[in-house]
A = this chain, B = another copy of it.
Amino acid sequence: MPSGLPLSVDAMGGDHAPNIVIEGAAIAYRKQPQRSFLFFGDEKKIGPLLDAHPGLKAASTIVHTDEFVPGNEKPSLALRRGKNTSMRLAIEAVKDGKASGVVSAGNTGAFMAMSKMIFKTLPGITRPAIAGIMPNVHHDVVMLDLGANVYSDAQELCEFALMGDAYARAVLGIEKPKIGLLNIGSEDMKGHEEVRGAANILREASNLLNFIGFVEGDDITNGEVDVVVTDGFSGNIALKSSEGVAMFFYRQLRTAMESSWAGKLAYLIAKPAFKQLRIKVDPRRYNGAMFLGLNGIAVKSHGGADGKAFANAIKVAYELIGANVNEKISQELNRLAPLMVTGVEHLFADIDHSEFANT
């Protein structure tokens, strides 16, 4: 059930703002014309773009500001001097109850830092994480963290696991999500201390969570897993590597089809099949990552997103709002309270530190 409040949008974030932002909103609006929007940014730029979409224009309010967060600005600097930026004002509108959630394609670090400062973390959560959806042969998979944290200890990985669990239940509608810890081997002895420690905790909580153990990189797309839990460094690398390969593959396919008359003819004959493939593997369909663990809904779009991709980030935001994802996470935190107060130290006792690093 969508909220009646408008969605708050940082119209100045991303490589092609505000054009693709308005274009994306127009696409999203055409699909769900009951939506409304609060755009933060330069009125002189946003206004004329909205004129091209009268329906969207009627459902939109522009809040003018000259300032925006540059794409490469340090988050600490953006926090200090970014009080009147489109990003900051867009987040505050949610905090002030004027909007149901916020979407930005701007500087990820600044967006996370500001969201964390303004929304605060949910009770019981140490660190927020960035969660996204990846395609899998069976269904969609939730993966987190995608880059909010470069280091994560065992306890934090467990928090990611339960936030991912709540996300998969609330948004993907999976009753008992299968949770896997990303590692470099499926045997228990592999991996570094943090993942082995997290596995020990999650294994003890098998009555609370459906923890299936370690998964490897290829299980993200080919495995029997619904939630892939990892630290932000590995998660970001897995995500970007996957996007790179998808783009590489698609380009190779196009080259193969364009390099001969037979290929061109085949393409014409099977255009719907190629289109179906494109839809299935198009990274734009997966654009829109949520900052999980905050007391407010913030969705990050790729900085290089086009209108179609930005429209998907808006769709993700509305799904999260409609699913009351943060309420579900809070309920999940209560349900899993026994897991979160477990002392971590004694669980490390059975890890043999003398073992080879790569075993």
A residues bordering B, Cβ < 8 Å? 72, 74-76, 108-109, 112-113, 135-137, 147-151, 182, 184-185, 187, 189-192, 216-222, 230, 232-234, 236-253, 256-257, 259-260, 262-263, 265-267, 269-270, 272-274, 276-277, 280-281, 354-359
Contacts and interface: CB of A to CB of B under 8 A. Distances in A.
Nearest to A71: B187
B273 A149 contact: no
A315 B136 CA distance: 33
Contacts of A272: 260, 262
Given A262-B269, A266-B266, 7 more contacts: A184-B236, A217-B239, A218-B240, A248-B281, A249-B249, A260-B273, A265-B266
B248 A137 contact: yes
Given A262-B272, A265-B269, A269-B266, A222 B249 contact: no
Instruction: List the number of copies, as a whole number.
Output: 2
B217 A238 contact: yes
Nearest to A128: B358
A122 to B, nearest CB: 18
A148 B359 CA distance: 9
A13 to B, nearest CB: 16
A109 B356 CA distance: 8
A357 B269 contact: no
A104 B240 CA distance: 31
Contacts of A265: 266, 269-270
Nearest to A187: B72
A190 B263 CA distance: 43
